[in-house]
Every structure is written in structure tokens, then in C-alpha cells.
């Protein structure tokens, strides 16, 4: 009798159980951090809220409390605890499959704003505590480096399909994407300028297209915003 299917089943069950545990821990920690702040949230509190022993917490979050913050960030960013890279997720696959470059960036902008709505509150809490916690500051620095690396994917894809404007390298395009999709930009647009999430989405789609794509007929972004109504003008955000 072939034991391989049984072993795969056991392995799948273990993986699913581990993912469920990580998700439970991340959700409990996120709730406590948003309610109390990072510094006031203890590992013991998170263990109790998630129904695990403290040792399980340290096993699931290598690095102690900064590791727990990293887990909260990763799960909030992805929307789940599955070990699936962003590049393999359905929304990214939809962007890759879209033939029109302007529409690619419209879908990308939609994804970016959806992620911002999830991670924005967590980022504010962690950012406020990072000045007094070197380990947490390191976690946030790592997430920024990862975000810059992640920006190379869409930039290189646009270069591969011949969509980048003349003279713009994939590396510089990635820098533009990284900067335009920063949480700080969205915070200023929504909290200082008073824009809605929908207005931010439309501005981001328009600005990415104007910055990255080769103009077509003098109107590089009109088509990619056909899904939106009442879009704001394309002025850049006013930075304090």
C-alpha cells in the first residue's frame, strides 16, 4: 500500500493547523495592539486572547515581540496566514493577465488601496512605538525594504510587455511605484486633504499611468479610469 497519499494528508493537516494558529494569534495581537498600543500589549495577553500557551507564541513568532509585530503585519498585508507569495495570489494574477497597461495600473491601484485600508491602522500603531523599540524599528525598516523589492515586480512586468515610457528603466519605475504607494501618501490624502478612498484610488491610477506609461494619443490615462465617476483632478498630494 502506498503511504505517500496518507503522508501528504497528514502534512496538509499540519500545515492548515499551523496556519489557523498563526491567524488566530495575529488577529488577537492586532486587536490588542489597536486597542492598547504596541507597548501595552504583552505576549501573555496575546497568548490568552488567542487561546495558546506563551511558548506556542514564541514558536510561531521567532524574535519575540518584534516577531509578533512582523506576524501581525504579514497577515494583515496578505489578508490571511497562508504561505502564498503575493505574486501567486489571484489579484496579482489578474493584473498580469490584463492586456491593457492602463487597466493593469487601475487594477493595481484598486489592490493598493484595499491593502492600505487593512494595514494603515496597524502601521500607525507600530510606527508610533518604533522610536522606543529598536527591534520593532528593525521590523518596519525590513517591511520598507521588502516593499521596495516588491515594487520591482510590476515595474519589470510593464517593461517586459513594452509599456514603460521611453527612457524609463524598470529600476526607476519601481522607485516611482514604491513612493506613490507609500502609506504616508495615502494618510496625507485622506487625513489632511480629506480625500475619500475612491478619490485616492483614481488619483493613484492616473498618476501611475502618467508617470510610467508611454502616452497614447495624448490621453494616457482616460481609458484606465472608465470604471470611476467624478474622479478628482490629477494634482499631486500636498506634503506638509
What does the pLDDT look like over 74-133, one tens digit per residue? 999 988 766 667 777 788 888 989 999 999 999 999 999 999 999 999 999 999 999 999
pLDDT at 9 over 70: no
How remote is the C-alpha of 197 from its chain's centroid?
15
Note the pLDDT of residue 11: 62
pLDDT at 155 over 60: yes
Note the pLDDT of residue 62: 87
Mean of pLDDT values over 164-169:
96
Rounded to whole angstroms, the maximal C-alpha distance in the chain is: 69
Note the pLDDT of residue 8: 58
Query: Between 123 and 218, whose confidence is greater?
Result: 123
CA distance 141 to 70: 11
Whether the Cβ atoms of residue 140 and residue 158 lie closer than 8 Å to each other? no
Burial class, 89, CB count within 10 angstroms (exposed 0-12 / middle 13-18 / buried 19+): middle
pTM value is: 0.79
- How crowded is residue 38: how many other Cβ atoms within 10 Å of its Cβ? 24
Query: Between 13 and 148, whose confidence is greater?
Result: 148
- What percent of the chain has a predicted confidence (pLDDT) above 90? 67
The dihedrals phi and psi of 218, each to the nearest 5 degrees, come to 80, 0
Note the pLDDT of residue 7: 57
Using DSSP's 3-state secondary structure scheme, residue 12 falls into helix
Amino acid at each position: 500500500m502506498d503511504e505517500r497519499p496518507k503522508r501528504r494528508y497528514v502534512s496538509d493537516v499540519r500545515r492548515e493547523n499551523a496556519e489557523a494558529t498563526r491567524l488566530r494569534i495575529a488577529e488577537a495581537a492586532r486587536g490588542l495592539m489597536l486597542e492598547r498600543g504596541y507597548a501595552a500589549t504583552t505576549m501573555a495577553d496575546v497568548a490568552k486572547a488567542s487561546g495558546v500557551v506563551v511558548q506556542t507564541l514564541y514558536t510561531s513568532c521567532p524574535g519575540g515581540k518584534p516577531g509578533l509585530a512582523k506576524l501581525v503585519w504579514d497577515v494583515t498585508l496578505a489578508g490571511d496566514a497562508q504561505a502564498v507569495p503575493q505574486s501567486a495570489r489571484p489579484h496579482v494574477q489578474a493584473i498580469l493577465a490584463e492586456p491593457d497597461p492602463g487597466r493593469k495600473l487601475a487594477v493595481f491601484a484598486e489592490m493598493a488601496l484595499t491593502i492600505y485600508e487593512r494595514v494603515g491602522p496597524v502601521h500607525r500603531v507600530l510606527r508610533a512605538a518604533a522610536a522606543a523599540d529598536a527591534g520593532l524599528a528593525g521590523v518596519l525598516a525590513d517591511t520598507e525594504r521588502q516593499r521596495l523589492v516588491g515594487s520591482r515586480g510590476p515595474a519589470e512586468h510593464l517593461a517586459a510587455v513594452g509599456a514603460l515610457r521611453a527612457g524609463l528603466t524598470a529600476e526607476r519605475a519601481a522607485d516611482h511605484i514604491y513612493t506613490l504607494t507609500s502609506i504616508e501618501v495615502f494618510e496625507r490624502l485622506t487625513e489632511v486633504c480629506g480625500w475619500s478612498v475612491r478619490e485616492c484610488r483614481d488619483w493613484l491610477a492616473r498618476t501611475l499611468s502618467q508617470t510610467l506609461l508611454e502616452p497614447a494619443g495624448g490621453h494616457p490615462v482616460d481609458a484606465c479610469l472608465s470604471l470611476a465617476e467624478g474622479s478628482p483632478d490629477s494634482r499631486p498630494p500636498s506634503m506638509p
